[in-house]
Structure 1
C-alpha cells in the first residue's frame, strides 16, 4: 500500500501526512521539487523539525543548490528506492508534495509515450506554428486529445500532436491500448489498486488571504535574509565565471526571482541605493511573491483536475480511492480532515470496504470531472465543470 496526499500550497498537506504517519507507523516522502534542495527552509516552506513530530522525512534537504535539477525519472528512481526501504521496515510510505507530475510518475506507468524523450520541435515544423494552427491539426488527427486541452495550452496541445507525428497513431489510442494491456495482464480481473489518495482542498476565496498571511509570516521569519544568502551565492558564482541559470532548479522558487531587483539594488555600493527606492522595491517584490503564490496554487489545483483525475478515470477502480478533504475551516481540522482520513486509511489497510468518496465531504462533489465548454457569448473556454459553473455566475459573463 502507498498513500498519497495531494493539493495546492497552503492547504495543509504536510500536516495531514504527519498525522497519518503518527497513527499508522508511517514515514513521509517529499514530492516537492523545491524542497529537494538543501537549506532554505523559509523560501521553500519546509515543514519544521517540530512539526514533523519525530516522523522520518525522506528526499527533503537532499540535493545541493548547484546540482542539476531533477527530471521526473530522477525522482521516480529515488522515491521507488525509498518506498522499498520503508516497506522493508514494516512501515507505511506516505508521499506528500505539490509537484504533481512527480506524483503521476509513481501512480501511472505510461512507458509507451510519457517515458520517451521528447523530440525537438525542429523535427516537426508544424510544432513551431501558432497554437491555433497546431490545435486545428490535432483536432483532425486526434479529436479526443484536442477536446481535453484548453485552446491556449500550447505545451499540452503540442505534446499530443507530437506523439501522433512521432508514432503515427493518436495519443488517445495509445493510452487506450495501454489500459487494455493492463487489464489483460490482470487476466481480465482487475486486481486491487494498492494506492490511496487524499486531495486536501481549500476554497479559493479562503485560501487567498491564507497564502498572503503566510508570506507575511515568511517575512517575519527571515525571508529577506534567506534570499540575500541566495543572492550572495549567485554573486560568488558569477565572480568565479560560473553564472547561474535562473530558469532552472531552485532559482525558479517563488520568492527569489520576485525579490531579485530589491536584492541587487540593496547590495549595490556605487552609488548607494536611495532608501525610499529600496523600500518601494521591497514592497513591490513582496506583493509579487503573494501574487505568484496565489497563481501557483491555482495551477496546482488545475493540474490535479486536468492531469491526475483523467488518468485515474482511465484506471479501473482508481477514482474510488480518491478522497477530497475540505480544509477551508481550520477550526474543524480534526472533524473534517484528520479523523475522516484516519478512518479511511484504517479501512484501506485492513482491506475493508471504503466509503463513497462523494459522501466524505461536500468538496468532493464540487471537484467535477474535466470537461471542455466554450461560452460563445464571452469567448471563454473552461476545462472543468466547476470552472464552467463559476464562469456562468461571474460578473464577466
Structure 2
C-alpha cells in the first residue's frame, strides 16, 4: 500500500493485558525519538505501581512517559472526554518538540476517542458530567426508582421513552436503568439524544482528516496468555501487591470514619487486585484464625487471576466489536498490524523487529506491508475478524410473545421461538381452549 510521509504521525499500541504493549512502546520510542502517552485508566494513578502494573523507572529506560502515575487515588477515573482532551494536548506538545507521540494502553475506549474524531459524539451520553461525576448513591437518593425492581423501572421507561424501551429486554436491568437515569437526571429522552448523535456523526464524516495513525495490536494466543497472566499475578504478589492493597484499605477506612462516602464502583477501587482481597483484609482486622485468613488470601489471589483473564477477554471483544468496525468505517484497516507475542522467548523477533520495520516505512512514507502478511497468526486472526461479507444488521425492537411470556432480542431468536415446540404447544393449547364452550361448567 502506497502512503505519503505523515505530517502528524501517531503510533498507537493496543491489545489485551499481559501481551507486552508497554515494552514495545519503549522500544519504538528509543528507536524513533518518541515519547509515550499512557492510555490505561488504572495506570494513571500514582503510588500504586504494582496493583496497576506500571513499568518501573528502569523498564522505562529514560523514555518520557505521560499520564503515568499522575492522578491521586482519591480522584475518580477520568471520563473519556477528559482523557481525549488531555492526551491530545500532550500529543501536540510532543510533536512540537520534534518527537514521535506513542500512545499505549488497554483502556480501549480511551484509544477509540483519540483515533476516531467522531467517536466522542456517540460515546458521550446525555450530560455525562452529571452522570459520571455524581456518585451513583447520590442519584439513587434523588431517584429511588433507580434502586427499585427492574420491572418498575422498565414500566417507567416505557412511559417516558417508549422508543428506547423497545430496544431493551425487559430483564436487562443495566441498560434499562441507564436509559431511565439519563431521563431523570437530564430531563431528556435517551432516544432523542441518540438521534442527535447519529446526525452529528453523519456530518462529521464529511470533514474527516486524512488517516495518519499507525496501529500495532500486540496479540497472544488465549491459552498461552492465560498461563502468562496467572504467573504475573504471582509475581505481583511477591513484589508487594498486598502492601498496596492494605494502603488502599486503610485510606478507605480513614475517609469513611471522616464521614466521606467512598464510591467503590469508580476510580482506583475498580482496579483488579483490591476488591478481590476485601474478604481477607476484613478477616485480618477481625482477628480471624490464621488458617481461615490464609484460605481467604489464597481465594483472593485466585479471584484476581480470574478477574484478570476476564478483563483480557473484554479487551479482545472491544477490539473485535468496536475498533475493527470503526477502522473499516474509516477505511484504515491497512494501518492495523497484529504482532504475535504468544512466545515470550521470541518477543524481539516476533514483535519488536517487525514493528520497527513497519514504523520506519510509515514515517518515511514508504509502501506498507499488508497486515495479513506479517505472520501466520496475523493472517488467521485478521481474516477471522473480517466480517465484510456478513449481512448488515437490521434494527430490531424487542418482541414479546404474550402466549409464552418471553421477550426476544433479535429476529433470529424470534423466528426460532415461533417455530419451536414451546410456542407450538402454547398455540395448540389456546386453540383447544377456544373450542370449549364458556358455559360448559354450568351444563355439567
TM over 0.5: yes
- In 2: Cα distance, 1:257 partner to 1:224 partner: 12
Structure 2: how far apart are the matches of 1:219 and 1:93? 33
1:389 alignment counterpart: none
User: CA 1:90 to 1:299, structure 2 compared with 1: closer, same or farther past 3 Å?
Assistant: same
Q: Does the 8 Å CA contact 1:98/1:300 hold for their aligned counterparts?
A: yes
Pair 1:325 & 2:339 matched: yes
Within a 5 Å distance, the mapping from 1:224-263 to structure 2 comes to: 224-263=242-281
How far apart are 1:154 and its partner, in Å? 6.4
2:85 aligned partner:
77
Would you say the 8 A contact 1:4–1:196 is kept in 2? yes
Would the aligned equivalents of 2:122 and 2:194 in 1 still touch at CA under 8 Å? Answer: no
Per the alignment, do residues 346 and 279 of structure 1 end up closer, same or farther by CA in structure 2, a change over 3 Å counting? same
Q: Secondary structure at the match of 1:113?
A: helix
User: Distance in 1 between the 2:40 and 2:49 partners?
Assistant: 13
CA–CA distance in structure 1, aligned partners of residues 335 and 297 of structure 2: 45
Q: Give the Cα separation in 2 of the matches to 1:140 and 1:369.
A: 30
Corresponding residue number in structure 1 for 2:106: 98
Report if the CA contact (8 A) 1:200-1:327 is conserved. Answer: yes
- Aligned with 2:122: secondary structure? coil
Shift in Å, 1:233: 1.0
> Which residue is 2:10 aligned to?
2
Asked if structure 2 preserves the Cα contact closer than 8 Å seen for 1:234 and 1:243, the reply is no
Report the secondary structure of 1:3's partner residue. strand
Aligned equivalent of 1:349:
363
Distance in structure 2 (CA, Å) of the matches to 1:154 and 1:307: 20
| Gaps in structure 2 of 5+ consecutive residues | 1-8, 132-138, 144-149, 184-188, 394-408, 410-444
CA 1:247/1:169 → structure 2, altered by over 3 Å: closer, same or farther? closer
Q: Which has the larger radius of gyration?
A: 2
**Number of residue-to-residue matches in the alignment:** 351
**Structure 1 residue 13 and structure 2 residue 31: aligned?**
no
Mapped contact 1:43–1:253 kept (Cα < 8 A): yes
Secondary structure, in 3 states, of the residue corresponding to 2:123?
coil
What is the 5 A alignment of 1:196-211?
A: 196-211=214-229
Counterpart of 1:165 (choices 183, 191, 197) is 191
Partners of 2:246 and 2:207 in 1: CA distance: 55
Following TM superposition, by how much is the alpha carbon of 1:177 offset from its aligned partner in structure 2, in angstroms?
A: 2.4
CA-atom RMSD in angstroms: 3.5
Please give the alpha-carbon distance, in whole angstroms, between the structure 2 residues aligned to 1:78 and 1:251: 23
Deviation at 1:369, TM superposition (A): 3.0
TM-score, normalisation: structure 1? 0.79
- CA shift at 1:66, angstroms? 1.1
Distance 2:325 2:152 in 1: 25
Report the counterpart of residue 313 of structure 2 in structure 1.
298
Alignment match, 2:122: 113
Distance in 2, matches of 1:168 and 1:302, equals: 23
Correspondence 1:1-397 to 2 at 5 A: 1-110=9-118, 112-117=121-126, 128-129=153-154, 155=175, 165-167=191-193, 169=195, 174=199, 177-178=202-203, 181-182=204-205, 184-185=206-207, 192-268=210-286, 272-315=287-330, 317-365=331-379, 366-367=381-382, 368-369=385-386
Task: Tell me the distance in 2 between the aligned counterparts of 1:60 and 1:286.
Answer: 25
Name the CA shift for 1:284/1:164 in 2 (closer, same or farther; >3 Å): closer
Q: Distance in 2 between matches of 1:344 and 1:60?
A: 26
Structure 2 length as normaliser, TM-score?
0.71
Report the alpha carbon displacement of residue 330 of structure 1 after superposing the two structures with TM: 1.4
